[in-house]
Amino acid sequence: MYYIFFTGTAGSGKTTLVKEFQQYLLDLEMDTAVINMDPAVERVPYTPDFDVRDYVDAIEVMERYGLGPNSSLVVSIDLLLTKATDIKREIGDIEANYVLVDTPGQVELFAYRDTGRLFSSLLVGESKSVNVFLLDSYLAREARSYVSLLLLSSSVRFKLGMPQINVLSKVDLLNQRELHQLLEWGEGEGLVDSLGVIDDYSYELVKTLIESLERPPIPLSANKRDGFDELYAEVQRIVASGEDFA
Ligand code: GDP
Ligand code: MG
């Protein structure tokens, strides 16, 4: 059993990708299951095999504790951790080659808080896992946003300690020129030039960031199911290489 997490900023396309990638794996006759880890989502386009909303309702938490949407989500995940034993039992019944985990839009859970990591390791147990981080290509068209998203991706990679695959989501929204540029940046070319005038600090930061990238992000469209073969190949490469949840 192998866990594939999908993280990224709100609206980057996690839920849609989970639905389409599950279908893709099913078409390859892979047994898959889906976990919804977002307590605040109203509806999901797939049938979850485990749903945190069965344990905690972010809207109810919001009303009961008089919280805003963001803090209610953070508290919801804390509450989930108090129900770890029950959750563990229910998840233990899942049988599949791949378990896809759809996560909440508040990526701070995975970048800055312990709960994202704690809950992930609760789910994963002794199994292997990988995190697919979605860089919203529509935002990433702009060079500074691209760099910022890469930094966020690095934060999540570092905090979660899981092997990670960066993907550029929703590339069907880009024109040829924009896509071409993003692919070049992914290869570490032309990014500094595209940033225009930057200070020394930013220059050094971007240089280090480019060097630290293991691989260029995989361009992907869930709507068109483009890039799925590449994503799956990368998942398999990581499974085979035995990189582990640190
Ligand atoms: P999440 O918040 O990360 O779970 O993102 P969603 O999957 O809910 O998607 C946010 C919005 O982006 C929705 O309106 C989706 O229809 C749209 N979207 C998701 N994937 C794609 C894609 O590959 N191409 C396009 N054009 N839109 C997409
Ligand atoms: Mg979602």
In the prediction, which pLDDT does 113 show? 87
Cα of 12 from ligand 1 centre, angstroms? 6
Cα of 237 from ligand 1 centre, angstroms? 26
DSSP string, 172-219: GGS-HHHHHHHHHHHTT-SHHHHT-S--HHHHHHHHHHHHH-SSPPEE
Mean of the pLDDT values across residues 39-46? Answer: 92
Looking at the chain, which runs of residues are DSSP E strands? Answer: 2-8, 32-36, 50-51, 98-102, 128-136, 164-169, 218-219
Work out the pLDDT band at 111, boundaries 50, 70, 90: confident
Q: Which residue's CA is the closest to the ligand 1 atom numbered 16?
A: 16
Ligand 1 contacts CB of residue 19 (under 6 A) = no
Cα of 128 from ligand 1 centre, angstroms? 27
Mean pLDDT, all residues of the chain: 93
pLDDT digits (tens, 9 = 90+) for 55-95: 998 889 999 999 998 889 889 988 998 998 899 899 988 99
Ligand 1 contacts CB of residue 170 (under 6 A) = yes
Q: Which residue's CA is the closest to the ligand 1 atom numbered 6?
A: 13
CB-count exposure of residue 65 (10 Å: 0-12, 13-18, 19+): exposed
The preferred substitution site among 9, 14, 16 for testing ligand 1, maximizing ligand atoms within 8 Å of CB, is 16
Of 132 and 107, the one with more pLDDT: 132
Q: Which residue's CA is the closest to the ligand 1 atom numbered 12?
A: 13
The structure tokens listed for 20 are 């389409």
Ligand 1 contacts CB of residue 222 (under 6 A) = yes
Cα of 105 from ligand 1 centre, angstroms? 12
The pTM score is: 0.95
Look up residue 220 and give its DSSP letter.
Answer: -
Work out the pLDDT band at 106, boundaries 50, 70, 90: confident
Ligand 1 contacts CB of residue 15 (under 6 A) = yes
The structure tokens listed for 202 are 């930013």
Ligand nearest to the CA of 107: 1
d(CA 70, CA 74): 7
pLDDT digits (tens, 9 = 90+) for 158-201: 999 999 999 999 999 999 999 999 999 999 899 999 999 999 99
Best-predicted range by mean pLDDT (66-70, 106-110, 131-135): 131-135
